[in-house]
Chain A
């Protein structure tokens, strides 16, 4: 593993019409860590995530993921890069007409040359790694609870052995018990499989429980970056009220 950062974001500017969402956002995500991007609603966390994974072009700035400049790479380089990271969308974005098994199998069939006899065991392994029971494989997305749907989405994101996993609000809409179990899953993926994980979240318990580093967005810029302890010491009105709800 090289010591280079998994993600480098350099003075990214984003505008929607006259509205400026990001005004020179810069930070780095080191390999093998869980990094949380936090910030109030409308601070552009999800927008930033979409820019990192190449779905939305920023107005200015440089975004480099695993050594590839996302917005200067050719279509081919981008396709190769996309096979190296996984993304879990907020509501899972599972293919609604496919079973969980087929959802997880889709990227393997489309993108990887997997021998036929290994496909089913591999899909079942992904489903188990995401912490779903084996019988979930045959279910349709509409038959799953919110927490299971998110786990199924993680299983699909893990399908191609990504080095990097992005999650958009993984614990939103989950009860605290399910949410903490999901946090432990992320910690397991980072520790046991060596994944770098970027998680956009509001969840203070996720932040204090499993995250190595945090990046705080407010007013279009990064107001704090570092370990959670570092971030908690930063004096900023938004951070003060954010942490005020927690007894520290």
Chain B
């Protein structure tokens, strides 16, 4: 199929355009024009046999002419609408200046940018923490401003609805721990120490960590998505203009609910982990339920449980703050909510583990 034909009449070059010039054929048309050997001289466009011409193919034609250095000497036989299309395109064509400058990949610059971004992120976290504490201080002076309904709703979501999954996961991990310790301890005839290990390990470390990871995935992400959507739909701006503080109305109830909920969930986790270990101790290690409970009673000091519960409260505060901050600062596009939610979960888990390591060192030094 031929769309164009170059003819020479006396000294004048004539480009004969034929057929349907539309977007679906643009690749063929452009290739044909490229191969036509357009001269760098004035060319007359003859459109007597042109059936259709759209702006895309007109652009392809004009660009090929410009690239060859040819100019349009005149138009002949083009109908009025095709002439108008060519004119509309010609008057709006840019001179090929790149509209979008794409910078190349520069690793050092990327590293620097990432470092600056990390620093900025830490700064923003601190600022948000400060604002939150200030809002908490204000709440202490005017306790009536606490949103009890919102707090209760958040408690239901963060605490009550999380109990089944927390119980299941910690029960199974308790079983796995008892099984692993038991296999080793049995070799030395020290099976009974499995109870000590599971009781202390679960209440001090495993249960708070697992609960925090579950909470980061369940509630931290939900906080970000909820507040982020509210920001996109300008609900947060609306709150501000109504004289309400988003901190008081949205953030504090979530943070307080998390601080209250996590120790409770950690306790659920402690019990479930012990139950899991107890369930497997009887058949595997010949430690009866009564012996197990007695051993726990005598060996599990209250401070271990207290440390776990306290860690839970701090983890809860960290995750809620991260989630709410990410939600309040989400960008104004659809993808941003997704990436902020992901970032909440990742940051939540990383911060929990960082804090946990800090606690381990600190409590070791303090001898607790």
User: Do A and B come from the same complex?
Assistant: yes
Q: Is there an interface contact between A118 and B85, defined as CB atoms closer than 8 Å?
A: no
In the complex, whether A223 has a CB less than 8 A from a CB of chain B is no
Q: Which residues of A contact B331 (CB under 8 A)?
A: 142
Tell me, in angstroms, the Cα distance from A134 to B93 when the chains sit together. Answer: 11
Q: A134-B99, A138-B100, A141-B333 are in contact. Are A115 and B26 (CB under 8 A)?
A: yes
The CA-CA distance from A26 to B37 in the complex, in Å, is 54
- How far is the CB of B187 from the nearest CB of chain A, in Å? 58
B355 on interface, CB distance cutoff 8 Å: no
- Interface membership of chain A positions 21-41, coded 1 if the CB is closer than 8 angstroms to chain B and 0 otherwise: 000000000000000000000
Q: In the assembled complex, which residues on chain B have CB atoms less than 8 Å from the CB atom of A160?
A: 23
Q: Report the Cα distance A114→B28, complex, angstroms.
A: 10
**How many of A's residues come within 8 Å of B, CB to CB?**
31
Q: A157-188: contact bitstring with B at CB < 8 Å (1 yes, 0 no)? A: 00011000000000000000000000000001
Which residues in window 334-352 of B have CB below 8 A to A?
A: 334-336
The listed residue (B31, B59, B334) touching A121 by CB distance below 8 A is B59
A-contact bits for B74-113, CB 8 A (1 contact / 0 none): 0000000100110111001110111110000000000000
Residues of B within 8 Å of A99, CB to CB, are 100
Chain A contact surface mostly: helix
Say yes or no for B55: interface residue by CB 8 A criterion: yes
How many whole Å from A39's CB to the nearest CB in chain B? 28
A102 CB, min distance to chain B CBs, angstroms: 9
Interface 9-residue window, one of A45-53, A65-73, A124-132, A202-210: A124-132
A107 CA to B55 CA, complexed, in Å: 16
Residues A137 and B99 in contact in the complex (CB < 8 Å), given A96-B332, A118-B59: yes
Q: A124-B99, A142-B331 are in contact. Are A113 and B60 (CB under 8 A)?
A: no
Instruction: Please tell me if the beta carbons of B84 and A97 are within 8 angstroms of each other in the complex.
Output: no
Assess the A115–B30 pair: CB atoms within 8 A.
Answer: yes
Q: A101-B100, A124-B99 are in contact. Are A161 and B54 (CB under 8 A)?
A: yes
Contact digits for B247-271, partner A, Cβ 8 Å, 1 yes 0 no: 0000000000000000000000000
A78 within 8 A of B: no
The docked-state distance in angstroms from the alpha carbon of A138 to that of B336 is 18
Tell me, in angstroms, the Cα distance from A161 to B54 when the chains sit together: 7
Q: Are A97 and B99 in contact (CB under 8 A)?
A: no
Asked if A42 is an interface residue, CB under 8 A from chain B, the answer is: no
Q: Does B226 lie at the interface of the complex (its beta carbon under 8 Å from any beta carbon of A)?
A: no
Partner of A120 from the list B26, B27, B99 (CB cut-off 8 Å) is: B99
Contact flag A192-B334 (CB < 8 Å), given A113-B24, A121-B63, A138-B100:
no
Assembled-state Cα–Cα distance A161/B336 (Å) = 32
CB distance from B36 to the nearest CB of A (A): 15
Bound CA–CA A142/B336 (angstroms): 12
With contact pairs A114-B27, A142-B333 given, residues A129 and B55 touching in the complex (Cβ less than 8 Å): yes
Residue pairs across A and B with Cβ atoms less than 8 A apart, 22 shown, are A96-B333, A96-B335, A97-B336, A101-B100, A112-B23, A113-B26, A115-B30, A118-B60, A118-B63, A121-B93, A128-B92, A129-B55, A134-B97, A138-B99, A140-B333, A142-B332, A161-B22, A161-B23, A161-B56, A188-B88, A192-B87, A194-B81
B interface residues, Cβ below 8 angstroms from A: 22-24, 26-27, 30-31, 54-56, 59-60, 63, 81, 84-85, 87-89, 92-94, 96-100, 331-336
A binding-site residues for B, Cβ under 8 Å: 95-97, 99, 101, 112-115, 118, 120-122, 124-125, 128-129, 134-135, 137-138, 140-142, 160-161, 188, 191-194
Known: A125-B89, A192-B84. 13 other contacts (CB 8 A): A96-B332, A97-B333, A97-B336, A99-B100, A114-B26, A120-B99, A121-B93, A125-B55, A125-B93, A128-B94, A129-B92, A161-B23, A188-B88
